Chains A and B, each alone.
Chain A
Amino acid sequence: METLHLPAGLQIRAGQFYSPFGRINGQHLHQWGFVDAPLVVARLLGPDGLRNPGARLSWLLPTPFYSELFVAVQNSRGDGAVPFRAGGHVHGHEAEETLPLGFRPAENDRGISAWNDLLWTARYAVSTDLTDQQTLLLGTSAAFDPNASGAEGQPDTQIYGIDLFWKWKSPRAHAGFPFVSFQAEGLVRRYQLGAFDWAEPAEHGQHFLADALTGQPAFLPQETVTDYGFYTQLLYGFRPRWVAGLRFDYVAGSRGDYEKTDWTFDGEPVGRDLLRRQRWRLSPNLTWYPSEYSKLRLQYNYDKRKDIDDDHSIWFQFELSLGAHAAHSF
């Protein structure tokens, strides 16, 4: 639901929508140039991205070039807000045997009692046409909200991002081809981990985190950890209905204090936090659009996770769009 003409270049949208953060987050899955989400986006914004019911105000500034400011306020619970108050049980496959983010469950949902308990996102984007054939779009985004990490304290999450999109399209483009596009996003997340005492689960006979030397249940104080990363992707629509792509992904995290002690979990030694460890990936792919409503995509991922073996994977994607669908924005 969207207003068509408020005065002064303002527009309001209400309903379920993607938070205005970066570039990939606002796009539907079928607009992605690759089979999977970039590592840094999936890790820092959550596997489903930021997407929840709420309201968004945008302002097209009266500058000679395109410049737009977005502010959104949304519910901060659920799979559409994983880095916030979604809790530690995303999708249900965060089973008890694996350690959640920061080695502590997310049991600290303090509910919504004030405006700042909601998910706030802001984005400012500018764009200019470099030539008749080239367009550049730059954006900077931020998202804030309490999170539910640990069991005590008032932890919150801050995420910042910058993004860049450049596209060249042939002056004689036919059905949108040929074109070359380059896209890059960098993200930083400051995540407060709430304090958590593993003594209680230990008393109840559940799995618990223990000091490797003493065997005592761990007490994890509140602390702040930083995760960061980027991706760059190049797409080349070299002939009608054919696109070749190459993406490089990188994500890493600062070493948290909680990672500096030797822990065991369920008797097994625990290394660094798997959900925050350095990882990079290289993904070439090839996409063919048999028609405007379908696509076939072949993608190879070389995935290097620090302290874990390399992964090689091959993806084959087939997609068929049915029904009416509005055109996409740039």
Chain B
Amino acid sequence: MPRSVLQWLCLALLLFSSTLPLQARLKVVATTADLAALARAVGGPHVDVLTLARPTEDPHFVDPRPSYLVRLSRADALVHGGAGLESAWLTPLLQQARNARILPAAKGNVACCEGVTLLEKPERLDRAHGDVHPAGNPHYLTDPENARIVVHHLADVLAELDPAHAADYRANEQAFLAALDQRLARWQARLRPFAGARLVAYHNAWPYFARRFGLRIDLFLEPKPGIPPSAAHLASVIAEMKKDGVRVILLDPYQDRRTAETVARATGARIVPVSQYPGGVKGTEAGYLELMDYLVEAIAAALEASTSRSETSAPSP
């Protein structure tokens, strides 16, 4: 009796595993939705892209769900940031995934930060500075110029893993870069009037965006990365905002809205919902370029509203 059960099991497994190799599409797993969007843009119909972290959740803290293990165990490529953002939950998953194709140094392990110059690389590591990433600030994709580097990297990797469709990957890369060039000029023009404007963010996730568009995003509701806001720290932020006339607060979907609202009330600032991930804010699901469209427009509109208000509310001489 147990022998026949075993035979059935073997037969079932055989049938199941024999259906797998028929799938010709490359199986790509991306840690975050921004990387997934770029992988889709390059891979087009030749890749199946699965995203691990939800676009609305804190990418530093993702549960290593068992289903992620299954996805990773079957992936042809793993697309990750490579700058420590996901390492806390990705490392143990990789150790359990038993997939040589995506282990570090394998062709299918795509660390997208390669070739990107990371900002804010700490001179020394110390928990006293909060949750600092040793490799530098990992939120580099908010600069479209870095997306250019990542897309080129992805096209290289996909072409190498799937030479039959290399020409398609190259064509997709060129199409994406052309669209990016076109929009980048528009984005820069939209934000140029606000050059030098100062903004508040909850977490230090926007230095790349700020540098590209000539903004100053250097006031944070968190006293240190990963450390929750304290009353004393918020008071100093409010004082600084009033002194400099800062009227815009950037808030990711997973960050504490109440804290931001308290600060907004005290300063008359407006809260702009932002996300580094397509789908993190409603209407940005379509992809990376659409997300950047939204970010530029939302931030420009908020800056516009705040300057026009301060002009109208300014006391007459």
Q: Is the CB of A129 within 8 A of B67?
A: yes
Chain A: how many interface residues by the 8 Å CB criterion?
Answer: 41
Q: Is the CB of B58 within 8 A of A129?
A: no
Shortest distance in angstroms between A122's beta carbon and chain B's nearest beta carbon? Answer: 15
Chain B: how many interface residues by the 8 Å CB criterion?
Answer: 37
Chain A residues positioned under 8 Å from B127 (CB to CB): 293
Stretch at the interface among B31-39, B252-260, B294-302: B252-260
Q: Is the CB of B66 within 8 A of A135?
A: yes
Stretch at the interface among A106-114, A187-195, A322-330: A322-330
Q: Is the CB of B57 within 8 A of A60?
A: no
Q: Is the CB of A328 within 8 A of B92?
A: yes
Chain B residues positioned under 8 Å from A176 (CB to CB): 58, 61, 63
With A11-B96, A172-B254, A328-B92 already in contact, the answer to whether A240 and B69 are too (CB < 8 A) is no
B65 interface hit (Cβ, 8 Å): yes
Q: Is the CB of A327 within 8 A of B98?
A: no
Q: Which of A168-208 contact B (CB under 8 A)?
A: 169-176
Q: Is the CB of B103 within 8 A of A171?
A: no
Q: Is the CB of B56 within 8 A of A175?
A: no
A281 interface hit (Cβ, 8 Å): no
Shortest distance in angstroms between A222's beta carbon and chain B's nearest beta carbon? Answer: 29
Shortest distance in angstroms between A281's beta carbon and chain B's nearest beta carbon? Answer: 29
Chain B residues positioned under 8 Å from A175 (CB to CB): 58, 60-61, 226
The distance in angstroms between the C-alpha atoms of A326 and B99, with both chains bound, is 20
B7 interface hit (Cβ, 8 Å): no
A128 interface hit (Cβ, 8 Å): yes
Residue of A nearest to B101 (CB): A5
Chain A residues positioned under 8 Å from B190 (CB to CB): none
Chain B residues within 8 Å of A, Cβ to Cβ: 13, 16-17, 20, 54, 56-58, 60-61, 63-67, 69-70, 73, 88-89, 91-92, 95-96, 98-100, 103, 127, 131, 226-228, 253-256
**Can you name 17 A-B residue pairings with CB atoms under 8 Å?**
A2-B95, A4-B95, A5-B99, A11-B98, A61-B13, A62-B17, A62-B20, A65-B70, A68-B66, A128-B67, A135-B63, A135-B65, A174-B58, A175-B60, A292-B131, A292-B226, A330-B66
